[in-house]
Structure 1
Amino acid sequence: MPHRPRAPRPLTRRAGALLGQTALTLCLLISASLTAHAEAGAGASTGDAITHADDHPGEWLGHGRTWSEQRYSPLDAINADNVGSLHLAWHLDLDTNRGQEGSPIVEGGVMYETTAWSMVKAVDAATGKLLWSYDPKVVRSFADKGCCDVVNRGPALWNDKIYVATYDNRLIALDKHDGHVVWSVDTIPHDAELGSQRSYTITGAPLAAKGQIVIGNGGAELGARGFISAFNAETGKLSWRFYTVPNAHNAPDHAASDDVLRKVAYPTWSKGGAWLTQGGGGTAWDSIVYDPVTDLIYIGTGNGSPWSYLLRSEGKGDNLFLSSIIAVKPDTGEYVWHFQETPKDQWDYTSVQHIMTLDLPINGTMRHVIAHAPKNGFFYILDAKTGEFLSGKNFVYVNWAKGLDPKTGRPLFTPDALYSTKGNLWYGFPGTMGGHGVPEMAYSPKTGYVYIPVQQAPDFYQTAHTMEVHPDAWNLGEETVASDARDSYQSLAKITRDLRGWLVAWDPVHQRAAWRTPEGTDPINGGLLATAGDVVFQGLANGQFHAYDARNGKDLFSFDAQSGILAPPVSYLANSKQYVAVEVGWGGGYGLYPSGLERRKPGSTNHSRILAFTLDGADSLPPAQVMSLPPLSPPHDYDKKSALAGSRQFALYCQWCHGNLAKSNGVLPDLRYSSAIADNGAFESIVGKGALEAFGMDRFDKSLSPEEIETIRQYLIWRAHQTLEEQAAKGGKPAH
């Protein structure tokens, strides 16, 4: 391990940031020479190129450009002085209008991007011309097997191959020149410990490092046991696997995680509880990072399965390794250290959010650290080599913990927040959306700030009395009550009043906000890009793409992208010009989230695109399309008792795609307006018999009886009548 320089006295933020950048560069150069032999024959060219990314700043070769995942571009032709003159250079319409969250790879003038349904596009980065495309042909009815839409967060590059992980759990290597399949593997281990679970999906970007392609899977809401798999980049052969929670029998999995799970993790779980049949959770569905300075892979893990701590683990133990960061050796998967950010997690406070590494002055000494802002609302600084807790501070209002223990980093729980063991209804900050969600952070070594897309989005929590397992539905162990809609409206109104969103520039050394954009009522903020031109780029749910001054947050540029943006931008050079590009398209976990959040432009149509900007761009978008909903004309009669029962079935099986209270966000059909609710036979044919399977609507005849399906239809008719009443109260204006 190379020796890191010590600062003789406390440093100013700017001096510390500059020294940190120098130290990091030195460490990377030394590490590259130490690992060159190990990488020889396993793809040294891509590894060397990413290690020396600043030698070719016009390319974007990894998910966060460099191993550090800082999402910082050294390009400065577009800067705070001229970004107001930015123009659209080109746009490429995509062939699916589901959620888009991809971060592209750019190499040699070619952009490689993934889209919804795990499709891949190779595009001329200067013109937007499509060079080739690949469709893994995910069966559309597989959509309901996952949590949060059929998004994909990007490809990976290693030498002559592009890698995509598909929604239906395949890892595929494509020839980067023409897109033909080189190899394809199933990432799911088919063993007894996973039982009959079929909830696994993949939405994250693979990690390519040291000749390995590493990927995790999601699915904890529907019942899953987390794991990470590494495959040989050339052959697709499994190299190692690491499970994130123990198996039900504390038996060996013949995996790299066997020893630590049996000795360290298993004692933190109860001998009974729903985790034994629901897998326990801990899925590693997003952030997986390689650090050449420590030669470690950092893995962020997710929530428990089920959510309820009382039902999951009988209210006992910390439940390792839920909501944790785990460090393993990249060649073998061997465990090195872990840090659990949310013990006993029962709030869906996953730790899979963007992980980055920095060199920072901590108490006057330069430290190589992990910077992390998970859903629980605290910003953590950990020693990257050992996992030692160095500091932590909440970056958004929280009420589940009073703070963090200054020595251990363990949260100091607020008693009422332990709702499952206390049996109370609890209104939590953050809610299940978290204080920071999927959209990526960015860091500028010039300002020394970490830029965080922050959201204040509370939720109500209440544990169920017993664990009911429903096939094809979320099984959270949370109370799902058939109630009068008035109660639901009141709860939704309370949440809506408390919704806020900001872009925050966070000083990681002093653990405080340097600035933040003005408070907004829309909590949804897209991923970020910081550049050497002192600009931070970000898209928002309202369809606006912004450029902010990285030093003070001043809004310098905005562009109407016509659809909400969740994906993070990137910057690159093509034909010697700097471009900034972003994938546009509303959906994902936010677009389909059952909190009643809808597009902020009522009537707008989601239109997924890739947009690229330059200073001399001459392109323009066609006029925005407006969705015209038909007049509401539900059947006159419905059964109120049946509708109340149907509200529970809708909440269990339907709301995650079609919206809370059946209010769609515009991505998937608004069932209040569906003509199918007028006909019992037509509705049962769609929901029960799969008449629309080819379009992504699964069949539920194995989960719901015809009588239960009819209660859902009655509920939708009831909701349509309530919407008519709302429209009348507003003077007949349609309610979206």
Structure 2
Amino acid sequence: MRAIGLPMPSNCPPSGWQSTFRLRPCALFVALLLATGLPAAQAGERPANVDGQRIIAADQEPGNWMSHGRTYDEQRYSPLKDITERNVDQLGLAWSYKLDIDRGVEATPIVVDGVMYTTGPFSVVYALDARSGELIWKYDPQSDRSRAGEACCDAINRGVAVWQGKVYVGVLDGRLEAIDARTGQRVWSVDTRADHSRSYTITGAPRVVNGKVVIGNGGAEFGVRGYVTAYDAESGEQAWRFYTVPGDPKLPPEDRAMEIAAKTWYGDAFVEQGGGGTAWDSFAFDPELNLLYIGVGNGSTWDPKWRSQAKGDNLFLSSIVAVDADTGEYAWHYQTTPGDAWDYTATQHMILAELEIDGRERKVLMQAPKNGFFYVIDRATGELISAENIVPINWAKGIDMKTGRPIVDDEAAAYWKDGKRKLITPGFWGAHDWHPMSYNPQTGLVYIPAHIMSAYYEHIPDAPKRNPFKSMYQLGLKTGMMPEGADELLEMAKTWSGKLIAWDPVKQAPAWEVPYVTIFNGGTLTTAGNLVFEGSADGRVIAYAADSGRKLWEQPAASGVMAAPITYSVDGEQYVTFMAGWGGAFSTFAGALSLRAGVQPFAQVLTYKLGGTAKLREPSPPADAPKPPPLTGDAATVETGGKLYDAHCSQCHGIHAVSGGVLPDLRKLPEEEHQRFLGTLFGGRIPDGMPSFADAFTPEQVGQIHQYLIKRAHDLQQEGDAWTRFKPE
């Protein structure tokens, strides 16, 4: 049902705590709505009436975008071609919708029969009229916001799945919920957490295959054991669960996969540390083989010496695992980074395609994980076909094609052996992170939002103990080291850049590239109109020619764009939608470097069409930093406070208290916040996602952190932000 601004009848029942409606499902009101000429799919047919056959046959109705990657093969290629390289310069904004919370926006919208379903921060779901952007309903799952600090990359959400009249969303605090697609009311809810004492979260989008909703979890950085779970789409009943790393070696393994994995781990430290291996993002599905492909993440701890005595491959960390979609039974795996020591997850987007290689058609799976290589794998058997690096790397010298294993550089592998700080390329955000890539079967190219970045890794001399405060990284090493000075930060920022790479997966070589000023640029979409669409970290939406990389269209987006765009059509008119809104891990943890993008968080849905004339809404300019109070702490107090801050607060507010602007910059606190600093830390700011730190700090430690922040505020007054002095070439 589409919101049309009718007055609310007094006899409509309240919607309950979980939803916010502009419509109420009482009979009289529905009758009035049906008389207004709503689209058939909204007024008569069941909305979101999607099943597997409809997704498999998606090319027969290209106007819809019914699954996360449009189709089960996750190619993010659309056959629509009303918008082409010849007329894309006529695109204008058709409509926009302002989301409630200005934080990281990473969702891929779903569009079915004229209705768009998408998400914003804290797992809030929006149903919008895909023609006008009018709100139909909004569902707030009332996520436990105090647990936002237990999500490594802020309170983001990557979207929903739809199936037979229901919308499915993974909630930040670990729930999976089904929503009635017509009314926006909750149908069922399940708690996916295997252990409530651990920091399990969900930020990824569900997939629905064979009537089962599949979801993984996040939390490796906080010490959890990874798994993927399938639930019955109708009832929410658990169908199967596949663990990605072994459990306690004193107990029998759960299945054959865990028997295989257990042989590759050493000691039992990983039991307390959780092991990691969370499947927090990517899946793909082959209906013919009935195989579900799972992208598995990094270990916990990162340092393999403390995780597994620096021995063993540690399956199934950093692996692609194929399982039977009906039972979850293991079929095969390919490990991209055995014994991962650098946070080289293989959770990145996977694409299924048919490629002609050496004169023969191969059914392949393609992935560009964090470690910098582009892999082409036989998706029936897991056999490695080819692999080449997409950006410069120094952790490996190549791939041994006889074994399929990387040829690890001894120097890069030695940080945990000799205790020396090592500069590794790529760093922990990889050569390619979660931002989806796309594949165009017409050009034969894969369009990859790539990173150029390095990071220091340093071994800690003593075995780490699990920190009882859950909102704290459990990495087991030192990383992310940055200078405090603005000039030094600026120089470091210049070494972190991005590019859009059009990669030929057969030749294993780039066809063309476009450079960007920084990392964390948006995912990509490609179309039959010979187009590639991408948003940029520095606040633009752009279209390129898919075959040549020539820029054809560009407009401002009022904020950074990280999510991948989609395209759809309603009533014969093609639209392109970008989810805009800066945030995520880069702009929180490494806020000082993300400032080079020069954007503010401003979360909105931006939808374009040929001849669109809507006006772009933009954020208000940020306020000037207030004058800080006098610094009263001595140098030792400030130094201690800085260490406490970086250990506990930097993942949200930025290393050395330099925020990327998404969460408050604590160097810019107003006078009243300085006055109630202790109360804020001990009481938390739950609506904003900040937990209480009463169990983490003593009042004396809070005072030390406060003095450090006052010192950093004075530094800001003297130096200014580095990015304000940066002038792009």
Normalising by structure 2, what TM-score? Answer: 0.89
Contact 1:482–1:645 at 8 Å: present in 2 too?
A: no
Helix, strand or coil: the match of 2:592? coil
Structure 1: tracts of 5 or more residues without a match: 1-42, 191-195
- Residue 642 (str. 1) matches residue 650 (str. 2): no
Contact 2:456–2:479 at 8 Å: present in 1 too?
A: no
Deviation per CA, 1:206-263, whole angstroms, max 9, x where unpaired? 0101000000000011111100000000110000001100002252465xxx22212x
The Cα of 1:703 is off from its aligned counterpart by: 1.5
Equivalent residue, structure 1, for 2:682? 688
- When residues 725 and 70 of structure 1 are mapped into structure 2, their CA distance, relative to the original with a 3 A threshold, is same
Contact 2:490–2:593 at 8 Å: present in 1 too?
A: no
Equivalent residue, structure 2, for 1:505? 502
- Residue 118 (str. 1) matches residue 111 (str. 2): no
Aligned mate of 1:496, from 480, 484, 493: 493
Contact 1:634–1:677 at 8 Å: present in 2 too?
A: no
Contact 1:541–1:600 at 8 Å: present in 2 too?
A: no
What is the 5 A alignment of 1:427-576? 427-466=423-462, 467-470=464-467, 471=469, 472-479=471-478, 485=484, 490=488, 492=489, 495-517=492-514, 519-576=515-572
The Cα of 1:44 is off from its aligned counterpart by: 10
Equivalent residue, structure 1, for 2:227? 227
Deviation per CA, 1:57-92, whole angstroms, max 9, x where unpaired? 110000011111000000001010110110000000
Code of the residue aligned with 1:500 in structure 2: it is S
Code of the residue aligned with 2:511 in structure 1: it is A
What is the 5 A alignment of 1:50-89? 50-89=55-94
- When residues 670 and 648 of structure 1 are mapped into structure 2, their CA distance, relative to the original with a 3 A threshold, is same
- Give the Cα–Cα distance (whole angstroms) in 1 for the partners of residues 666 and 126 of structure 2: 33
Equivalent residue, structure 2, for 1:584? 580
- Give the Cα–Cα distance (whole angstroms) in 1 for the partners of residues 722 and 181 of structure 2: 57
- Give the Cα–Cα distance (whole angstroms) in 2 for the partners of residues 668 and 328 of structure 1: 39
- When residues 567 and 75 of structure 1 are mapped into structure 2, their CA distance, relative to the original with a 3 A threshold, is same
Code of the residue aligned with 1:577 in structure 2: it is E
Equivalent residue, structure 1, for 2:5? none
Code of the residue aligned with 2:694 in structure 1: it is D
- When residues 629 and 639 of structure 1 are mapped into structure 2, their CA distance, relative to the original with a 3 A threshold, is same
Deviation per CA, 1:93-131, whole angstroms, max 9, x where unpaired? 111111110101111110111111101111110111111
Contact 1:269–1:316 at 8 Å: present in 2 too?
A: yes
Contact 2:50–2:162 at 8 Å: present in 1 too?
A: no
The Cα of 1:45 is off from its aligned counterpart by: 5.6
Equivalent residue, structure 2, for 1:35? none
Aligned mate of 1:93, from 86, 90, 98: 98
Contact 2:284–2:352 at 8 Å: present in 1 too?
A: no
The Cα of 1:485 is off from its aligned counterpart by: 4.2
Equivalent residue, structure 1, for 2:709? 716
- When residues 676 and 51 of structure 1 are mapped into structure 2, their CA distance, relative to the original with a 3 A threshold, is same
Helix, strand or coil: the match of 1:79? coil
- When residues 245 and 676 of structure 1 are mapped into structure 2, their CA distance, relative to the original with a 3 A threshold, is farther
Deviation per CA, 1:443-485, whole angstroms, max 9, x where unpaired? 1011000000011011111121121432231110113799984
Aligned mate of 2:310, from 305, 315, 323: 315
Helix, strand or coil: the match of 1:719? helix
- Residue 618 (str. 1) matches residue 598 (str. 2): no
Helix, strand or coil: the match of 1:580? strand
- Give the Cα–Cα distance (whole angstroms) in 2 for the partners of residues 197 and 595 of structure 1: 30
Equivalent residue, structure 1, for 2:666? 671
Contact 2:587–2:659 at 8 Å: present in 1 too?
A: no
- Give the Cα–Cα distance (whole angstroms) in 1 for the partners of residues 445 and 232 of structure 2: 36
- When residues 250 and 368 of structure 1 are mapped into structure 2, their CA distance, relative to the original with a 3 A threshold, is farther
Deviation per CA, 1:691-731, whole angstroms, max 9, x where unpaired? x2233221111112222222211211121122222149999
Deviation per CA, 1:132-172, whole angstroms, max 9, x where unpaired? 11000112221111100111111001111110010011111
Equivalent residue, structure 1, for 2:108? 103
- Give the Cα–Cα distance (whole angstroms) in 2 for the partners of residues 718 and 143 of structure 1: 27
Helix, strand or coil: the match of 2:503? strand
Helix, strand or coil: the match of 2:168? strand
Equivalent residue, structure 1, for 2:356? 361
- Give the Cα–Cα distance (whole angstroms) in 1 for the partners of residues 723 and 389 of structure 2: 40
Equivalent residue, structure 1, for 2:26? none
- When residues 407 and 581 of structure 1 are mapped into structure 2, their CA distance, relative to the original with a 3 A threshold, is same
- Give the Cα–Cα distance (whole angstroms) in 2 for the partners of residues 112 and 142 of structure 1: 25
Equivalent residue, structure 2, for 1:19? none
Normalising by structure 1, what TM-score? Answer: 0.89
Equivalent residue, structure 2, for 1:173? 178
The Cα of 1:677 is off from its aligned counterpart by: 8.8
Equivalent residue pairs, number: 675
The Cα of 1:409 is off from its aligned counterpart by: 2.1
- Give the Cα–Cα distance (whole angstroms) in 2 for the partners of residues 322 and 682 of structure 1: 44
- Give the Cα–Cα distance (whole angstroms) in 2 for the partners of residues 152 and 728 of structure 1: 30
What is the 5 A alignment of 1:31-430? 46-190=51-195, 197-252=197-252, 254=254, 258-262=255-259, 264-273=260-269, 275-418=270-413, 419-430=415-426
What root-mean-square deviation, in Å, do the aligned CA atoms of Structure 1 and Structure 2 show?
Answer: 2.2
